[in-house]
Amino acid sequence: MNDLGKPVPSSPTRRDFLSRLLKFWSLVTVIPIGTAIIRYVTPVQRDVDVRESLRVASVQDIERNTAKIVRFNKEPVIIVHTRTGQFKAFSARCTHLGCIVQFKSEGTPHFICNCHGSQFDINGINIAGPAPRPLSPFKAKVDKSSIVVSRI
Amino acid sequence: MSRFLPVASSVYRWLEQRLPVASVADYFSKKVVPRHKHSFWYYFGGLTLFFFIIQLISGILLALYYNPTQEHAYESVRIIINEVPYGWLIRSVHSWSANLMVGTLFIHMFSALFMRAYRKPRELMWVSGVILLFVTLGFGFTGYLLPWDTMAYFATLIGTEVPKTLPIVGDWGVSLLKGSGEVGAETLIRMYSIHIILLPLVALFLISFHLILNQILGSSVPIGTQVKDPPVPFFPNFLYRDLISWVLGFLVLISLSILAPWGLGEKADPLASAPLGIKPEWYFWPLYQSLKIIPPTVFSINGEMIVNGVLGIMSLFWLLIPFIDRKASIEQKSRPFTVVGAALVLYLILMIGFAYFDI
């Protein structure tokens, strides 16, 4: 109130103005800061040396009816030397929740995942347990007594 | 002794002029704890706090020697266990106390549910408590990887894949947890920083909030329960009783830590097949077992997605129970919530049992 009994509008108006300004400022800063944080915590795909094919083992390394797990780029790949002498390769990651599968040579050869009991036949097809898809196949061929794995 | 009294009283006077000790003490002295036939269950909140304090202390000590890198993590835990004086004990206490804390937290939570302690005006105590449950499970999950042994590695491999069937954010969630395409060095450092910085800060804030509400609102009495007179003053009577439960908790903890010291498996090898018996900690067994028994597809919906969906809906329901149970908030019995709680307890026990016996 001033001495004429009229309200003095100036100070509340200034506060109103500043608080509106503050709200506006908060809004325009929260969004970019939030975006920056989300982008920061999201891992970047770094350029790894992606190879189309890789010489991963020699034929003598894997006896018949056994398997070996090798790293192909970032993927663990299981190479099986079948009873009939073929080489087959699959991603060793179980399609259920990503555990590394194991080759079982007894009886009918197959793959099992010990984490939740999924099973895959020798062609990588899911036959039991919670796995929803077959193991992803890779190409395995013999080149001068070594095994070369490549993408299909 | 009496020579020190004038000093003590002048220190007190000095303090009183700067911090109103007397009025704060007076406020706390008014807190009482009701007495009735179910008051036994009041001790489990305090016990959970006790184990949390043990976690803070033992965790700070472990951090002095632990090395959160893929090359050295396993070795540093091995050194803590085998070479650092009493290192085996500190590490064992940290692991056992974590498990006991989850146990007492579950008891505290279900007793609050069955006694309808969440009803008006304590809705926010329940909500903060449920968030603390999630934080605690987060502590368990992020801490499990740190020793970098085979069990830790594969359990984390599975755990970080769990969000992948979530719509839209699934793949992003997985990469956020792993820090890269696979469980490796980036995952370890993420888990470590979440475990020792983010979660402790959140937990301390929520625990303070939970305890301040408890101070303001007092302990809840179940609907229709006869209260004995007079109630127990919190300071010092109930505090002494709480401390007795802490002593008992400590005895259990130290006995387990010494008689069954926590072990360390083989160092994780990312190119080895998962061995038999890969399991998370027991409090994740209901989730583990549900993921194990659900078929790949149910009515052409992905099985994991169903488990995740049910888990998400249950978590939301659990968080919002005080607002869903309208009857309890007007002091009427609400039987369905007892049934839901009992069914959940039964499911958890069954699944933990199945997982234990590898069914």
Structure confidence by residue, pLDDT tens digits, A46-70? 766 677 888 888 888 888 888 989 8
User: Is 0.85 exceeded by the ipTM?
Assistant: no
In angstroms, the separation between the Cα of residue B314 and the nearest Cα of chain A is 22
The answer to whether residue A129 is domain-embedded is yes
Count chain A–chain B contacts defined by CB atoms under 8 A.
82
Instruction: Give how many domains chain A has, as a whole number.
Output: 1
All residues of chain A having their beta carbon less than 8 Å from the beta carbon of residue B160 are 98
Looking up residue A83, the CATH number of its domain turns out to be 2.102.10.10
What pLDDT sits at residue B294? 84
Which pLDDT belongs to residue A4? 66
pLDDT for res A7: 62
Question: Going by C-beta distance under 8 Å and a sequence separation of 6 or more, which residues neighbour residue B247?
Answer: none
Does A145 fall in a domain?
Answer: yes
CB < 8 Å from B in window 53-112 of A:
69-71, 74, 76, 92, 96-103
**What pLDDT is stored for residue A3 in this prediction?**
66
pLDDT of residue A48: 65
Structural domain includes residue A6: no
Q: Which residues span the domain enclosing A124?
A: 53-151
Does some domain include residue A5? Answer: no
Percent of chain A with pLDDT over 90: 41
From the candidates B153, B154, B186, B271, which should be mutated to test the interface with A, based on the most A CB atoms within 10 A? B271
Higher pLDDT, B285 or A8: B285
For every residue of chain B, which 3-state class applies, written as one string? CCCHHHHHHHHHHHHHHHCCHHHHHHHHHCCEEEECCCHHHHHHHHHHHHHHHHHHHHHHHHHCCCCCCCCCHHHHHHHHHHCCCCHHHHHHHHHHHHHHHHHHHHHHHHHHHHCCCCCCCCHHHHHHHHHHHHHHHHHHHHHHHCCCEHHHHHHHHHHHHHHHHCCCCHHHHHHHHHCCCCCCHHHHHHHHHHHHHHHHHHHHHHHHHHHHHHHHHCCCCCCCCCCEEEEEEHHHHHHHHHHHHHHHHHHHHHHHHHHCCCCCCCECCCCCCCCCCCCCCHHHHHHHHHHHHCCCEECCEEHHHHHHHHHHHHHHHHHHHHHHCHHHHCCCCCHHHHHHHHHHHHHHHHHHHHHHCCC
Along the 359 residues of chain B, how does pLDDT read in single tens digits? Answer: 567 788 999 999 999 999 988 898 898 888 999 999 998 999 999 999 999 999 999 999 999 999 999 999 999 999 999 999 999 999 999 999 999 999 999 999 999 999 999 999 999 999 999 999 999 999 999 999 999 999 999 999 989 988 887 888 888 999 999 998 788 899 999 999 999 999 999 999 999 999 999 999 999 999 988 898 889 999 889 999 999 999 999 999 999 999 999 999 999 988 888 888 888 899 999 998 998 888 877 888 888 888 889 999 999 999 999 999 999 988 898 999 999 999 999 999 999 999 999 87
Give the pLDDT score at B295.
81
Q: Which residues of A touch B275 (CB under 8 A)?
A: 114
Interchain CB distance below 8 Å, A97 and B186: no
Q: Is A124 a domain residue?
A: yes
- For residues B57 and B180, give the distance between their C-alpha atoms in angstroms, rounded to a whole number: 32
- Closest-CA distance, A84 to chain B, in angstroms, reads 24
**Strand order across the beta sheet in which A126-128 lies:** A102-104, A110-112, A119-121, A126-128
For B278, which of A74, A114, A130 is closest by C-beta distance? A114
Report chain B residues whose CB lies below 8 A from the CB of A100: 154, 270-274
Q: Identify the residue among A42, A91, A99, A105 best suited for mutation to test binding to B, counting B beta carbons within 10 A and taking the highest.
A: A99
Residue at A118 is within a domain: yes
Closest CA to B101 of B286, B240, B258, B256: B256
Instruction: Using an 8 Å CB-CB cutoff, list chain B residues near A102.
Output: 273-274
pLDDT at B247: 97
- Residue B216: predicted pLDDT: 93
Does any domain span residue A47?
A: no
Nearest-Cα distance to chain B for A18, in Å, is 31
For residue A9, pLDDT over 80 is answered with: no
- Given an 8 Å threshold on Cβ–Cβ distance, is A132 in contact with B273? no
Asked if the model's pLDDT at residue A10 lies above 60, the reply is no
| Least CB–CB distance from B175: residue in A42, A99, A117 | A42
How large is the average pLDDT for residues A138-150? 87
Instruction: Please report whether residue A102 resides in a domain.
Output: yes
